[in-house]
Amino acid sequence: MSARRLLEILALTLAMGLAAVSPSHAVQPGEVLQDPVLEARARALSEGLRCLVCQNQSIDDSDAPLAKDLRVLVRERLTAGDSDDEILDFVVARYGEFVLLKPRFTPHTWLLWLATPVVLLAAAAAIIFAHRRRNLATEGPKPLTANEKRRLKRLIGEG
């Protein structure tokens, strides 16, 4: 398949709003661990690991051979008794930060993680500020003084 053709298929699929071009078969019967607790951990870990040769698919959903290798690797480390963090460290050491679908909070992702809360606070502050300013700008009529109230009462009484 030529690069141009590939690009077009991608572009099209992109237009379709979905990226996973190939149908996936993902986890194969032979891979499943006997211990259900370990298997559940393996699935949870797999969902957070990216299939490196696919578009935004986790290795849990992908049928690419590389994804299979990673799934088996995760399960090997699990049976060897590694903790979840140790396994993630191990995978990142081998394949780089790119493999994590949830980027770690490091200096080069500070902006990524903090942008949303900062935008929320800034927008909320802007709304409060705009509201205050408008209230000041268009203050309603001042309440009547005691004197005026007395006069008003007298006038109504007379009317």
Partner 1 sequence: MIAEVGHYALILALGVAIVQTVLPLIGTRLRDPQLTAVAVPAAQAEFILIGFAFLALMTAYVTSDFSVANVWQNSHSAKPMLYKISGVWGNHEGSMLLWVLILALFGAAVSTFGKNLPRQLQANVLAVQGSIAVAFLLFIIITSNPFMRIDPAPFDGEGLNPVLQDPALAFHPPFLYVGYVGFSMAFSFAVAALIDGRIDAAWARWVRPWTLAAWMCLTLGIAMGSWWAYYELGWGGFWFWDPVENASFMPWLAGTALLHSALVMEKRDALKVWTILLAIITFSLSLMGTFLVRSGVLTSVHAFAVDPERGVFILAIMGVFIGGALVLFAWRAPLLTQGGLFAPISREGSLVLNNLLLTVACAAVLVGTLYPLALEALTGDKISVGAPFFNLTFVPLIVPLLIAMPFGPLLAWKRGDLLAAAQRLTAAAVVSLAVIIVVLALHQNGPWLAPLGIGIGVWLIVGAATEIAYRVKMFDASGEEVWRRLRNLPRAAYGGALAHAGVGVMVIGLVATSAWREERIVALAPGGSVDIAGYQLTFKGVAPRIGPNYRERVGTFVISRGGSQFTVLHPSKREFTVERSTTTESGIHNGWRGDLYVVLGDQLKDGAFSVRVYFNPLVRLIWIGALVMFFGGAVSLSDRRLRVGAPKRARTKAAMATGGK
Residues found near partner 1 in the complex (CB under 8 A): 5, 7-30, 32, 47-48, 50, 55-58, 61, 96-103, 108-109, 111-113, 115-116, 119-120, 123-124, 127, 131, 134, 138
Phi, psi of 20 (to 5 degrees): -70, 100
| Least distance in angstroms from the C-beta of 156 to partner 1 | 26
Closer of 2 and 145 to partner 1 (Cβ): 2
Q: How far is the CB of 51 from partner 1 (least distance, A)?
A: 10
Number of C-beta neighbours around residue 74 at 10 A? 25
What SS3 class is residue 50? strand
In 30-131, DSSP assigns E strands to: none
* Nearer of residues 129 and 154 to partner 1, judged by Cβ: 129
Nearer to partner 1, 61 or 82 (CB): 61
For the CA atoms of 46, 52, 54, 56, the dihedral, rounded to the nearest 10 degrees, stands at 60
What sign does the CA torsion over 63, 66, 72, 74 have? negative
The residue among 13 and 82 lying less far from partner 1, judged by its C-beta, is 13
